[in-house]
Amino acid sequence: AGPPTAAPPAPAGDREAMLRELAHARAEAARFRSLFDHHPDAAFALDPAGVLTAVNVACTELTGLPAARLVGTPFAELVDPDGRALTAARMAAVLAGAPHVWDVDILHANGRRSCTQVTAVPMVVDGAVRGVHGIARDITIHRVMEEQLTHQAFHDALTGLANRVLFRERAERSLLRAARARAGDGPPEHVAVLFLDLDDFKAVNDSLGHAEGDRLLESVAARLLKVTRGCDTVARLGGDEFAVLLDGMAGPDDAAAVVQRITAAVRVPVALEARELTVTCSVGLAHARDGDTADELLRNADVAMYRAKAAGKGRHAVFEPAMHAAVVARIQLEADLRRALARGELSLVYQPLVELDGGRLTGLEALVRWRHPARGLVAPGQFIPLAEETGLVVELGRWVLRAACAQLAAWDAALGAGAAPGVSVNVSGRQLDDPAFVGDVAAALADAALAPGRLTLEVTESVLMREPDVTLARLHALKALGVSLAVDDFGTGYSSLSYLQRFPVDALKIDKSFVDGVARGGSDAALARTIIALAEMLRIRSVAEGIEREDQRAQLAALGCQVGQGYLFARPLAPDEVVSAVAPAAAGRRPHSRV
């Protein structure tokens, strides 16, 4: 046989096609390599053994190690020891073909730890997994902000004590342990709650100022911690109201001894800046009974406290079932509120929102008022919580929404279209849960012939986070109408940054509790700064609530807050007062007035 015959050369057209495919493949490889090298997050590749085979510049910055050192190093060595077992399990799953995302601390060469979110996907070649592609994003600043928000969600900003949310959770756990002890053979555990209210605290604020009032509250908080046991929970529920959860006591007499220590400690004179002040407190004591919930136990203590206050200052009372007269009065108030909706006893006033730099009027928040024919003006704090509890808030909220839209249309008719700024309406959790709510909003806008963008719906942070996935769908439906959305009382609940980024909101409203002390620096200023920075990061507006002093306005403006509301600018205005405020600007064709 002769020598093997050489394969005939490929036709010129085929060679050109191959060269084009090769050039295209090289260009694609270069493009992906450039994306890998210049990605702002740490990008890496691993072989099946978990050893780094490629890293980008961001990866060297995250670890503080050069690329030559990183390549050939097991990825696990870069991970904090506490996270190595989790990382090994996730990497094994990725090598089995399933992408994964998890959080883990990455170690820097200088000893610093960076909280990172690792995203890892299988590296598939010719249908088989040959390694791992990964991205490690430094989320340290996000984690710090989440921790701050978590802490403030469960603690009072002024005193550092537990807040109502944390108190309630601990009370529920205590009651559950006590129930288990009763059901078993162990020694019984007695649970009780004290509800404290400082006597004449309003007079302290009015005469000495809020700053001195805050110092008094801080002093009382410190004394409560000192005279209770380490296992007890001391909470500030709001204003001058405190609660103490007494857990694991042998019997009722132990609680009575704590009451005596507390009342004696509070009576010791407090050295304030202006003077030495002696205060007293009224205390309600409720012992847990079989079947009590945390809310019932706290409510019983609250009822007993009001009985003690009614009997005179500096006293205490123990809850008894006969004290349900207060509950009966509440039932009567509910019946009156139902009639008020039908009889036209409700009205709206409007709290101006203004630019912190310049004072230009930018919006009006609608606030409901109730003038009872016999009781006179009923405080919103009395009937709005009652409406929430009974479900009347859905009907009440529907009335407020329609009345606010109709009033804005009336202002347009009187002053010219767009002369008055848009209105904000508060939305309760029950309203947001109502399947008809989106339709109610659309109908209110259509009936008033209003542009949707002139209506802002305010939802509290706590309502948003009850069922965030369900809430998200409802918010998107509202956003599709064209209305604006604001998170009210921001900072008093717990919002995950991941959810905040998903919620289609236009503004964060900083809760008054943080505004009160913002000019003094410290934790209030730091928290306000954090919320404003968060709003800037999310590219939405920040609005400060409850501004009462010029130094608060100046500090908030310096921190970057754009809009505020509060008594510094104006008290809530009746509709005709709004006309008086807006009319001069409307006549001069200027975009809204200044207050």
CATH of the domain at 109: 3.30.450.20
Contact of 272 with 229, CB cutoff 8 Å: no
Tokens of 475: 């918010």
As given in the structure block, the two tokens for residue 473 are 């769908």
Note whether 437 and 459 are same-domain residues: yes
Q: Which of 280, 302, 319 is the last residue of a domain?
A: 319
Query: Distance between CA 375 and CA 384 in Å, rounded?
Result: 16
376 and 497 co-located in one domain: yes
Q: Does one domain contain both 123 and 167?
A: no
69 and 203, same domain (yes or no):
no
24 lies in some domain: no
Token reading at 332:
């009567």
338-343: long-range contacts, CB 8 A cutoff, minimum separation 24: 338/392, 340/370, 340/372, 341/392, 341/395, 341/396, 341/399
pLDDT of the chain, 595 residues: tens digit per residue: 555 555 566 566 677 777 777 777 677 766 777 778 888 999 999 999 999 999 999 999 999 999 999 999 999 999 999 999 999 999 999 999 999 999 999 999 998 999 999 999 999 988 899 999 999 999 998 888 888 888 888 999 999 999 999 999 999 999 998 888 878 766 778 899 999 999 989 888 877 888 999 999 999 999 999 999 888 999 999 999 999 999 888 788 889 999 999 999 999 999 887 678 899 999 999 999 888 999 999 999 998 998 888 788 889 999 988 886 766 777 788 899 999 988 889 999 999 999 999 889 999 999 999 999 988 999 998 899 889 888 899 999 999 999 999 999 999 998 888 888 999 999 999 999 999 999 999 999 999 999 999 999 999 888 888 778 888 899 999 999 999 999 998 877 666 677 778 889 999 999 888 898 888 877 878 888 989 999 999 899 999 999 999 999 999 999 999 999 999 999 999 999 998 888 665 554 444 555 5
* Cβ atoms of residues 487 and 472 within 8 Å: no
Q: What is the CATH number of the domain that holds 211?
A: 3.30.70.270
Same domain, 371 and 481: yes
Q: Would you call 492 exposed, middle or buried from its count of C-beta atoms within 10 A (0-12, 13-18, 19+)?
A: buried
pLDDT of the residue at 524? 78
In a domain? residue 331:
no
* Residues 506, 510, 511, 515, Cα dihedral to 10°: -160
Residue 324 lies in a domain: no
> Does the residue 2 lie in any domain?
no
Closest CA to 356 of 176, 532, 142, 476: 532
Residues 68 and 103 in one domain: yes
Distance from C-alpha of 427 to C-alpha of 161, rounded to nearest angstrom: 29
537 and 505 share a domain? yes
- Beta-bridge partners for 485: 457
In a shared domain, residues 520 and 428: yes
Asked if 234 and 221 touch (Cβ cutoff 8 Å), the reply is: yes
The token pair at 167 is: 């108190």
Give residue 318's region: left, alpha or beta (phi > 0; psi -120 to 50): beta
In a domain, 339, yes or no: no
CA distance linking residue 227 with residue 310, whole number of Å? 26
Q: Which helix (H) or strand (E) holds 535?
A: helix 522-538
Q: Where are the alpha helices (DSSP H) in 96-139?
A: none
Residues in CB range of 88: below 8 A, 6 or more apart = 50, 76
**Contact (CB, 8 A) for 122 and 95:** yes
- Please name the residue that has the structure tokens 């390694």: 131
Same domain, 191 and 114: no
- Residues 439, 580, single domain; the answer is yes
Say how far apart CA 15 and CA 21 lie, in whole Å: 10
pLDDT at residue number 11: 65
Contact 440, 394 (CB under 8 A): no
Q: List the structure tokens of 448.
A: 């008033």
Give domain status of residue 556, yes or no.
yes
Alpha helix stretches (DSSP H) within 105-155: 140-154
Question: How far is Cα 70 from Cα 64, in angstroms, rounded to an integer?
Answer: 10
Q: Are 276 and 234 in contact (CB under 8 A)?
A: no
Domain check: are 165 and 308 in the same one?
yes
CATH of the domain at 569: 3.20.20.450
Give per-residue burial for 271-283: e unless 16+ CB within 10 Å, then b.
ebeeeebebebbb
* CA torsion through residues 116, 122, 125, 129, sign: positive
- Domain C-terminal end among 80, 107, 138: 138
Range of the domain at 475: 350-587
**What is the predicted pLDDT for the residue at 200?**
87
Q: Please state the domain count of the chain.
A: 3
Same domain, 77 and 108: yes
Tell me which of 83, 107, 138 is where a domain ends.
Answer: 138
Which of the 8 DSSP states describes residue 5? P
Where do the H-state alpha helices sit in 228-373? 252-267, 294-311, 325-343
Query: What's the CA gap between 335 and 346, in Å, rounded?
Result: 15
Say how far apart CA 189 and CA 187 lie, in whole Å: 7
Write phi, then psi, for 138 (nearest 5 degrees). Answer: -75, 110
The three-point CA angle 57-59-64 to 5° equals 95
pTM above 0.85, yes or no: no
